[in-house]
């Protein structure tokens, strides 16, 4: 039952947030700014070879580890402790209610027996962790406990990548939780700190677009659509006769021939705005809500030139680009302009880096 590392409780002081997505490896290291805030010490992004990671699964361990090693070298840090995350699709989470005042051992046993009912695998195949959320809303004599479980092999694959790169996994989190930690920093930037407002967090990655609608930190709706930046990369590769990796690199640098914008970029951004609009329609038709106050665009596609304006004009909703670092101090190693361009794709890595400050 006891994990060597825990989803919920890091002991490490110095920690790198490491996000292994399907297209790249991203690392962020934060420190305290000495005044209740944070300082961005350093960060790095390294593009993964195509198909090294697919659907959140590590397919090519050597290639993934080599990319992590390169990113770590680029960081020029002595910190080897990392916080990593599993895709939400690999983790089963469930809130349960238990009697308050139990000893740790009794609570563990109860969590195990409850977990048995919800988890479709044998417990010996699973890494299980739990965290007491707080008093149960229904009764003060009971506690709300969050259980998280994942197949051991999914956890071990990620641990193997980190260890093969010469680093030490200390924390195992869930990607969606890490993103929410960053989202809380962004919410503070909205009018009234986003209180009482309905906010659509739209994360457009390489292959998938995730919509999460939140209000006051509570999730109202989640939807996933197959749409992402790889489509644009493939179009670039085809039109300009590049391989996929070159096309991805030139897209990130925004360093493409003159006809790129009219022929590929604008149509792609229009399609993206259409997908966002469609996802919101699903939210409206399947819930009692009929409006959204703000859209926060995250993921690599958020910073495509004009993306926020096109989404705002199609949806008629105030749209901002996610930047969890907006209120942070930057170390002299971090270039403000580069960080601004990369911030929207560093949500999970930033959230993982924040784990160093957990109580």
One domain, residues 170 and 120? no
pLDDT per position as a tens digit, 14-49: 899 999 998 899 999 999 988 889 999 999 999 998
**218-226 β-sheet, strand order:** 218-226, 208-215, 198-204, 294-298, 318-321
Q: Is the pLDDT of residue 11 over 70?
A: no
| The predicted structure's pLDDT at residue 12 | 43
Q: Would you say residue 282 lies in a domain? A: yes
Structure tokens at 189: 């930037």
Least confident of 103-107, 153-157, 343-347: 103-107
One domain, residues 287 and 240? yes
- Among left, alpha and beta (phi > 0; psi -120 to 50; other), residue 36 is left
- DSSP H helical segments within 43-195, as ranges? 61-75, 104-118, 152-164, 175-187
Q: Would you say residue 2 lies in a domain? A: no
pLDDT band at residue 104 using 50, 70 and 90 as cut-offs? confident
| The predicted structure's pLDDT at residue 239 | 96
**Mean pLDDT of the chain, nearest integer:** 92
One domain, residues 24 and 168? yes
| The predicted structure's pLDDT at residue 254 | 84
- Domain containing 341 equals 16-89+153-180+329-357
Residue with tokens 């170390």: 331
User: Residue 52 and residue 29: Cα distance in Å, rounded?
Assistant: 24
pLDDT per position as a tens digit, 249-297: 899 888 899 999 999 999 999 999 999 999 999 999 999 999 999 999 9
| The predicted structure's pLDDT at residue 137 | 85
One domain, residues 235 and 287? yes
Highest-confidence segment of 79-83, 149-153, 244-248? 79-83
pLDDT per position as a tens digit, 210-223: 999 999 988 999 99
One domain, residues 259 and 128? no
Which position has the higher pLDDT, 229 or 50?
229
pLDDT per position as a tens digit, 299-337: 999 999 999 999 999 999 999 999 999 999 999 999 999
User: Residue 46 and residue 230: Cα distance in Å, rounded?
Assistant: 16
Residues above pLDDT 90, as percent of the chain: 72
Report, as an integer, the average pLDDT of 70-80: 97
Q: Are residues 202 and 295 in contact, defined by beta-carbon separation less than 8 angstroms?
A: yes
Q: Are residues 118 and 111 in contact, defined by beta-carbon separation less than 8 angstroms?
A: no
Q: Domain end: 135, 152, 169, which one?
A: 152
Could you write out the DSSP letters of every residue in 186-209?
Answer: HHTTSGGGGTT-EEEEEEE-SSEE
One domain, residues 272 and 317? yes
| The predicted structure's pLDDT at residue 3 | 37
SS3 56: coil
Q: Is the pLDDT of residue 1 over 50?
A: no
Q: Is the pLDDT of residue 85 over 60?
A: yes
Q: Would you say residue 4 lies in a domain? A: no
pLDDT band at residue 139 using 50, 70 and 90 as cut-offs? confident
One domain, residues 50 and 174? yes
Least confident of 5-9, 24-28, 165-169, 216-220: 5-9
One domain, residues 299 and 169? no
Report, as an integer, the average pLDDT of 58-71: 97
Structure tokens at 104: 């740790």
């Amino acid at each position: 039952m006891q994990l060597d590392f825990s989803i919920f409780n890091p002991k490490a002081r110095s920690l790198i947030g490491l996000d292994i997505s399907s297209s790249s490896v991203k690392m962020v290291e934060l420190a305290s700014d000495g005044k209740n805030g944070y300082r961005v010490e350093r960060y790095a992004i390294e593009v993964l070879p195509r198909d090294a990671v697919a659907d959140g699964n590590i397919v090519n361990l050597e290639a993934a580890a080599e990319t992590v090693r390169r990113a770590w070298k680029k960081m020029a840090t002595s910190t080897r402790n990392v916080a990593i995350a599993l895709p939400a699709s690999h983790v089963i989470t469930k809130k349960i209610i238990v009697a308050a005042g139990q000893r740790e051992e009794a609570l563990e046993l109860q969590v195990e027996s409850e977990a048995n009912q919800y988890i479709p695998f044998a417990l010996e195949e699973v890494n299980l962790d739990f965290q007491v959320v707080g008093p149960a809303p229904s009764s003060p004599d009971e506690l709300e406990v969050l259980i998280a479980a994942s197949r051991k092999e999914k956890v071990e694959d990620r641990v193997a990548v980190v260890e093969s790169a010469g680093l030490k996994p200390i924390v195992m989190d869930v990607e969606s939780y890490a993103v929410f930690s960053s989202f809380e920093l962004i919410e503070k930037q909205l009018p009234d700190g986003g209180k009482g407002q309905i906010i659509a967090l739209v994360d457009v990655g390489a292959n998938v677009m995730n919509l999460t609608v939140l209000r006051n930190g509570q999730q109202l709706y989640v939807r996933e659509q197959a749409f992402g930046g790889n489509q644009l990369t493939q179009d670039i590769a085809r039109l300009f006769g590049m391989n996929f990796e070159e096309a991805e690199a030139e897209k990130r640098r925004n360093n493409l021939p003159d006809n790129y914008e009219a022929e590929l970029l604008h149509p792609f951004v229009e399609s993206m705005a259409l997908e966002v609009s469609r996802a919101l329609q699903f939210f409206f038709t399947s819930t009692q809500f009929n409006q959204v106050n703000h859209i926060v665009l995250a993921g690599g596609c958020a910073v495509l030139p004009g993306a926020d304006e096109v989404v705002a004009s199609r949806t008629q909703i105030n749209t901002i680009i996610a930047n969890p670092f907006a209120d942070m101090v930057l170390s002299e190693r971090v270039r403000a302009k580069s960080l601004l361009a990369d911030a929207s794709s560093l949500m999970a890595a930033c959230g993982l880096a924040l784990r160093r400050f957990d109580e």
